[in-house]
Structures are given as C-alpha cells and as structure tokens.
Amino acid sequence: MRWVLALVCATLCHLAAAKSTRGEVPADKDFLIKQKEILRLFNKVHEPNRFKEQMEIGKIYEPSNNLNRYKNPAPVKKLVRLCTNNSLLPRGKIFTLFNDKHRNEMVLLFESFLFSQDWETFYKTACWARDRINEGQFIYALTVAVLHREDTKGVVLPPSYEIYPHLYVNSEVIHAAYKAKMRQEPAVVRMNFTGTIRNPEQRVAYLGEDIGLNSHHAHWHMDFPFWWKPEEYGVEKDRQGELFYYMHHQLIARFDLERLSNDLPFVKPLGWNQKIVDGFYPQTTYRVGGEFPARPDNFEFQDLQNIKIKDLMDYDRRIREAIHQQAVYTVNGDYYSLNDSTGINTLGQIMEPSCGSKHREYYGALHNYGHILLGQITDPKGKFDMPPGVMEHFETATRDPAFFRLHKHIDNLFKLHKDLLPPYSRDEVSQGQSITRLV
C-alpha cells in the first residue's frame, strides 16, 4: 500500500510541475467573455443566430465603414463587395476546401478576421459574417483565425464532430438520433463500422472511420493550412513540409500495423494509370445535399475539367527527377538543394503543395489533386451533379482506404529521397558529444 501512495504522490508532484507548451493564459473576466462569445458564434451555426446581442451587432456593423480598423483592408473590401452582389457561396450549400472558388472566399473571410486590429473589431466582423456567409466557410475561417490570433490564445473551440456529426458517423446513426429527438425519447445509439466479412479490406474500417483520427487529421490541416501566406500573415509555419511528411507517415505506419494485425498485407501505393481495385461505400450523408458518393471496385482515374491524368504523371516524374538530382527548380530557373537539413521540408512543400512551393506551376499539386481526383472519380464530368466525395474533406478523408493508398504513394517518394541522402558524418552525429566511459 505504501508504494502505491508513494507512486500517487510522485505523479501528483510531476503534474504540478508540468507547464503547458502553449504558455499560461489567465482566465480573467475578459478572457471568459471571449470564450463565451466565440462558443455562441459556433452554436447551431446552420440556423440563424439566436443570441440577440450578436444579432444586433451583425445588423448594425458595416466592415466597409470601418476599414481603418483592419491592418489590411483589401480582403475586407472584396469580401463585402462579393457579399453585396450575392456572389458568395450561399448558406446551406456544401463547402469544400478543395474547390478553388470556395477556398478563395473562405480565405477572404479568414483574412478579415486575422487583420482585425483588436478583439472588438474581430468580434464585430464575426457577428456580421455569422448569418451572411456560408456556414462551412464561416466555421473554417473562424476556427483557423482563433487558432492563430494572439488575443484568442487559449480559447477552447468545440470539436468539429460536435458541429458536423454527420461527417463522422454513418447515416443510420444520424437517422436514429433524429428519431429519438422527434419523439422526445432518451436513446442509446450504437454505431457499426462499414466493414463486412465479404470485403477483407474493410477489416480495418475501425481505424479509418475512427472519430479521433479524422478529427486529428482535420485539425492538423487547420494548424498547417496549405493556403497559408507567411509573408502576408507575418507568421512562418516552421517545417510545414517536413511535418506534412511526418504526420502522414505516422498514419501510414499505424494503418500498416493494423492491417498486419488483421491478416492483411501492407497497403499498396496507387498508380495514376492503374485501377483502384477496392471500392468504397461511405454510408454517410451530408446534412443537406444527399449522400457521399460511393466508388465501385476496379475504377480508373478520369480526367477532370482542370486536372488531367497526364499532367499528374508529369508532376510525379518531375518530383522523382528532383529527388534523383537532389535539387528542385525554382521559379527563377535556379536549383535549390535537397541535400541538406531542409531538403525534406522543401520536398513536402512542393508535394502538398503549400505556398512555400519553390515552383508550383512546374511541380503541380500532387497531394491536393490526388484528393480531388479520388473525390470526383465517379462523376468526373459533373453529369449527375454529385456532391463532393469523402476525399474532398479533411474531416472524412481517412474513411476511404484509397486515402492510405494515395499517401503510401507520396510516402514512397519521401522514402526515395531519404534513401539517396548520404550517411551522416562523424561530426554531424557526435557534434558537441563524446563517450567518456561505458557502464
């Protein structure tokens, strides 16, 4: 019994000495007001705002009449003009970050939030946008802004699975929850994964459909947005390309281990000119707009209006050439070495790509285009006006086994780069260190 008490005391002492890596934020009155108002902005975002104070601010406040309160008023003016002309994505429509128009509009809203000079301006701008901007764009822009503004540091945001539960559970669960709500009856709703004994690949559906995994994947891409403009925003995303590799490499490693545990081989990388042998039926439904599209077995990639398979294969080849040459082309036609400590970061930036890509036009967008091609594979011409697929949302992408095949392909490119690097020198390994004795 004594050793148990000693262990508990030691643990408590350790926890007491621990400090948050984000620093301490005093929960004073001002902070608690910020926390409350931001949570209210997120509340039932698909419906009109029900909080009277925020409604009044949203009606009265005019961003275009307060341009001096923004560090950069240009995105504010453009956003207001588009809103006045009814040119923005309407409320109730599906928002996807992989649609250029949707994303550009969201970025205008985010920049309006980020460039607000103080909390009051930021809050009033959010109240103005709450019932005017598409709810998907609003939530995404507000979330990323809260994560990056100094005056909202420490604010706790609701997890996305509480805002968009339909993205994280199958339609059967949603229907059961609606039924219980309509009848005003308490209910315990159990969720089954989409795997069946007739589909060996779905033995590991429990991992791809895990709420925590999908939430982590979505949140990482909010912490490190591929559209982030470091020079304009004044914040450099340190090692973003390297962390893009590391995070997805960890997902692939875990997925492969789960496959081995279920008597399945390692996941195979996809090929742009090969069939995707295993289909996928998400069994999930949008809040509005119908079901997520399914993909039958043995489907092939198809050209989209703005993305051609040949172009993707060219991007792939150019990246491989850069890896073998251990240097990438820059926009100016110069070479940028991959044979140093920042090489893997540079490679990650051109493969995702982020705004740090050395030559976006030449190396393309291997990762992002792969997501779009997989998301629209069953309706490439838009003939049936199908909604975006699961691969077109970071919140749902890992549900599709093809997500892991895509990232295995990308991961293999990183591995090729690492295999071609020279070994560490003695000085690099033991710089500032020495072995004095062995025990």
Q: CA-to-CA distance for 416 and 401, rounded, in angstroms? A: 23
Q: How far is CA 126 from CA 56, 160, 190, 378, in A?
A: 12, 18, 37, 37
Per the annotation, the verdict on 291 as an active-site residue is no
Coil, strand or helix: which one is 327?
strand
Q: CA-to-CA distance for 277 and 300, rounded, in angstroms? A: 9
| Distance from the first to the final alpha carbon of the chain | 34
The one-letter code for the residue type at 98 is: F
Can you list the alpha helix ranges (DSSP code H) found in 185-331? 205-208, 211-223, 230-233, 240-261, 309-325
Closest CA to 267 of 256, 280, 253: 256
If you ran DSSP here, which 8-state letter would residue 285 be given?
Answer: B
Cβ atoms of 140 and 109 closer than 8 Å:
no
Q: Please, what is the Cα angle at 321 between 318 and 324, to 5 degrees?
A: 155
Q: What residues pair up with 268 in beta bridges, in sequence order?
A: none
Cβ atoms of 386 and 379 closer than 8 Å:
yes
Coil, strand or helix: which one is 291?
strand
- Taking the mean position of all CA atoms in its chain, how far away is CA 419? 29
Query: Would you say the C-alpha torsion 94, 98, 104, 107 has a positive or negative sign?
Result: positive
Q: CA-to-CA distance for 308 and 305, rounded, in angstroms? A: 8
Closest CA to 117 of 42, 63, 56: 63
Q: What residues pair up with 336 in beta bridges, in sequence order?
A: 328
Structure tokens at 273: 């000119």
If you ran DSSP here, which 8-state letter would residue 35 be given?
Answer: H
Cβ atoms of 90 and 159 closer than 8 Å:
no
Cα-flanking dihedrals φ and ψ of residue 285, to 5°?
Answer: -130, 140
Q: CA-to-CA distance for 147 and 278, rounded, in angstroms? A: 38
E strand or H helix at 15, and its extent? Answer: helix 2-17
* Candidate list 37, 135, 242, 352, residue with the active-site label: 352
Cβ atoms of 396 and 167 closer than 8 Å:
yes
Residues with a catalytic annotation lie at 352
